[in-house]
Amino acid sequence: MLTIKDILARNHTWSEQVRRDDPDYFSRAAAAQAPEVLWIGCSDSRVGPDSLVSLPMGSIFVHRNIANIFATNDLNCLAVLEYAVDELHIPNIVVCGHYRCGGIHAAMQHSGIQPIDLWLDQVRYVYHRHTLELDHLDEEQRWRRLAELNVESQVHNIARNTIIREAWRRGQEVNIIGVIYDIHDGLLHQTGVQFSSYEEWQATQARG
């Protein structure tokens, strides 16, 4: 079992390695952060963003929760978005879902009154909006498809948020992009939902 001693030892090794490879790394990191990506991902231990896109620390501003939800009534989500857009002026917001997501699976199985059930109700709403499509699929396909639809739904939740609309209105570059991570081969795929302006987002609303 991994102990705190192991964790600290690994940290020391890592710190020494970074100093060896890039002696100025920590003085640069201490001065400021200038990330170009806000990553909204799942808490799942297999989908850590820095590793899977192979970017150095300092590149990605991260918010993670179970099933990569952007909850419009969650202060944590809203504060992260506000800081990322208004203070850090991050141009890319990536919502990353993943296949075989335990949160998505739980949302398909049952409901209840525990905190995780209430949290995952937001995925159940996505399911209910797409019942016609999802009910035709077998369980494995439904699990995959609901993960994709959930990403798309969270991209919409972000696009319709006042923080983003205000940023677009003043001409700030903000691209909101949905991706899904395939845990079987380590590859990211775009879901096809991406918005870079209010007009782009609004056009999808008119069609819907």
Q: Is 120 in the site for Zn ion (CB under 5 A)?
A: no
Segment lying near Zn ion (by CB under 5 A), choices 51-59, 83-91, 100-108, 166-174: 100-108
Q: Is 101 known to be catalytic?
A: yes
Q: Is 44 known to be catalytic?
A: yes
Q: Work out how close the CB of 47 gets to Zn ion at its nearest, in angstroms, rounded to a whole number.
A: 7
Distance, CA of 101 to CA of 196 (rounded, Å): 27
Q: Work out how close the CB of 67 gets to Zn ion at its nearest, in angstroms, rounded to a whole number.
A: 6
Q: Is 129 known to be catalytic?
A: no
Q: Is 148 in the site for Zn ion (CB under 5 A)?
A: no
Distance, CA of 46 to CA of 37 (rounded, Å): 19
Q: Is 28 known to be catalytic?
A: no
Q: For 82, what's the count of Cα atoms within 13 Å in the CB-facing half-sphere? A: 8
Select from 37, 38, 40, 42 the one that contacts Zn ion (CB under 5 A). 42
Q: Is 44 in the site for Zn ion (CB under 5 A)?
A: yes
* First-to-last C-alpha distance (Å) of the chain: 51
Catalytic hit among 63, 98, 144, 156: 98
* Residue 62 CB coordination number (10 Å): 15
Q: Is 101 in the site for Zn ion (CB under 5 A)?
A: yes
- Which DSSP string corresponds to 85-147? IIIS---EEEEEEETT-HHHHHHHH---SSHHHHHHHHHHHHHHHTHHHHTTS-HHHHHHHHH
- The contact set with Zn ion (CB under 5 A) reads 42, 44, 101, 103
**Active site residue ranges:** 42, 44, 46, 98, 101
